Amino acid sequence: AQKITQTQPGMFVQEKEAVTLDCTYDTSDPSYGLFWYKQPSSGEMIFLIYQGSYDQQNATEGRYSLNFQKARKSANLVISASQLGDSAMYFCAMREGQGGGADGLTFGKGTHLIIQP
């Protein structure tokens, strides 16, 4: 079974609208971290936001927020007031295990977001 599922291969959104990118995860480990990364066409993976499994509040970083619903194993990324520069691939990722684990990040297939003027 896939550990990270991103069900939206591609999305078109009008500039200045809010965007929600879906991510569901699967783990039996009580300790884990969830991440969102942005990958522009240049290829670099840009860290956006992090949510720990024990965090009580949803993480926020500027225009990015993570809608963490633990019981549903959901970690959706919300981008408020989208901009043309937000056009990129977006990856949801998880790292399992206490203290960061040792198995690296498991990534979803990604969502290709295109912001239209």
| Beta-bridge partner residues of 47 | 37
Near another protein by CB under 8 A: residue from 9, 44, 62, 72 = 44
Min dist CB 4 to another protein, Å, is 10
Q: Is 50 in the site for another protein (CB under 8 A)?
A: yes
CA angle (105, 69, 18) in 5-degree steps: 90
Report which of 53, 79, 75, 47 is spatially closest to residue 65, judged by C-alpha positions.
79
| CA angle centred on 62, ends 56 and 67, rounded to 5° | 40
Among 21, 95, 111, 113, binds another protein (CB under 8 A): 95
- Please report how close the Cβ of residue 115 comes to another protein at its closest, in angstroms: 22
- 61: its two tokens: 């970083």
Task: State which of residues 1, 9, 43, 62 lies at the interface with another protein (CB under 8 A).
Answer: 43
Q: Given candidates 24, 33, 65, 82, which one binds another protein under the rule CB under 8 A?
A: 33
- Mark 4-23 with x for binding to another protein (rule: CB under 8 A) and - for no binding: --------------------
8: which 2 tokens? 């939206």
In the complex with another protein, which residue's Cβ is closer, 46 or 114?
46
* Residue pair 81/19 in contact by the 8 Å Cβ criterion: no
Question: How far apart are the C-alpha atoms of 72 and 25, rounded to whole Å?
Answer: 9
Q: Residue numbers of the site for another protein (CB under 8 A)?
A: 33, 35, 37, 42-47, 50, 52, 91, 93, 95, 99-100, 102-110
